[in-house]
Amino acid sequence: MTRDIVTDDIVIAASILSADFAKLGEEVRAVDQAGADWIHIDIMDGHFVPNITMGPNVVKAIRPYTKKPFDVHLMIAPCDPYLADFAEAGADMVTVHAEAGPHLDRSVQLIRSLGMKAGVALTPSTPESALEYVFDKLHRVLVMTVNPGFGGQSFIPEQLNKIRAIRQMIGDRPIHLEVDGGVHLQTAPLAAEAGADVFVSGSGVFDGGDYAGNIAALRKAAMSARADA
Ligand SMILES: O=C(CO)[C@@H](O)[C@H](O)COP(=O)(O)O
Ligand SMILES: [Fe+2]
């Protein structure tokens, strides 16, 4: 099934880390109906990051609640032993961290061989040069604008230079540039102006309960920066 399309459009990926875990399936359906383009799923292991969330069994359980693409952000180390489980659970795209192990190229090749789109994430202290030798195998790059592990943190503005540099590296390749962490109405335009086209938001989508209003406002904020460019 093809659920991932690379377009020139702004993509809003709702991060279910901020959802009510007691009714996760309904929350996924709700953000789908509220206009989210992708469902962003944060997988944390209490080892690579200081928090624990969910595994492939939960991804599988929420898969029937939407046809929107599942954008799985792995904050686990090692990741290779679990990639097939996420593919089987219904992940469309899997992003691994460049910092999560010594064999990034192997992880990227494995994701692709399992039929999923491949992404690499960089924590705030990792330079864009970490992408150099895997770049042409990627469908997306995820720039973390907070230190990974928790929702609701503040956007780190120094990451805007990294976003600009990666936008230059991408050129006309069909690679999404995803920004994750502290993405709100004030920061989405900055990231868009720097070159991001996928906007992950947890608290910005879920806080206050007006998912449709929040998603529409985020999209409008990101698009306004593009129109100004
Ligand atoms: O990967 C992560 C956190 O490590 C994110 O995807 C968070 O879920 C973003 O949350 P907000 O900063 O948007 O509240
Ligand atoms: Fe994430």
Residue 45 is assigned to a structural domain of this protein: yes
* Proximal ligand: closest to the CA of 48: 1
φ/ψ bin of 141: left (φ > 0), alpha (ψ from -120 to 50), beta (otherwise): beta
Predicted local confidence at residue 1, as pLDDT: 46
Question: For the chain, which ranges sit under pLDDT 50?
Answer: 1-2, 4-7
**Looking at residue 155, what DSSP letter applies?**
P
Exactly one of 4, 32, 42, 45 is catalytic; name it. Answer: 42
Residue 46 is assigned to a structural domain of this protein: yes
* C-beta 71 within 6 A of ligand 1: no
Residue 5 is assigned to a structural domain of this protein: no
Look over the chain and give the mean of its residue pLDDT values, rounded to a whole number. Answer: 95
**23 contacts 209 by C-beta, under 8 angstroms:** no
Residue 153 is assigned to a structural domain of this protein: yes
The residue type at 200: V
* C-beta 97 within 6 A of ligand 1: no
Active-site residue 45, yes or no?
A: no
Annotated binding site for a divalent metal cation: 40, 42, 73, 180
Beta strands in 31-139 (DSSP E): 38-44, 70-75, 93-97, 117-122
Residue 6 is assigned to a structural domain of this protein: no
pTM equals 0.96
Can you state the percent helix, strand and coil of the chain, rounding each to 5?
40, 20, 40
Active-site residue 42, yes or no?
A: yes
Place of tokens 């944390």: 44
Count structural domains, the chain: 1
On the CB side of 88, how many CA atoms lie within 13 Å of its CA? 8
Residue 146 is assigned to a structural domain of this protein: yes
* C-beta 153 within 6 A of ligand 1: yes
Exactly one of 4, 71, 180, 197 is catalytic; name it. Answer: 180
For CA atoms 165, 169, 172, 177, the dihedral sign is: negative
Range of the domain at 71: 11-228
What CATH number corresponds to the domain at position 162?
Answer: 3.20.20.70
Place of tokens 């939407």: 66
Residue 67 is assigned to a structural domain of this protein: yes
Q: What is the ipTM of this complex?
A: 0.99
- Separation between Cα atoms, residue 52 and residue 134, nearest integer Å: 28
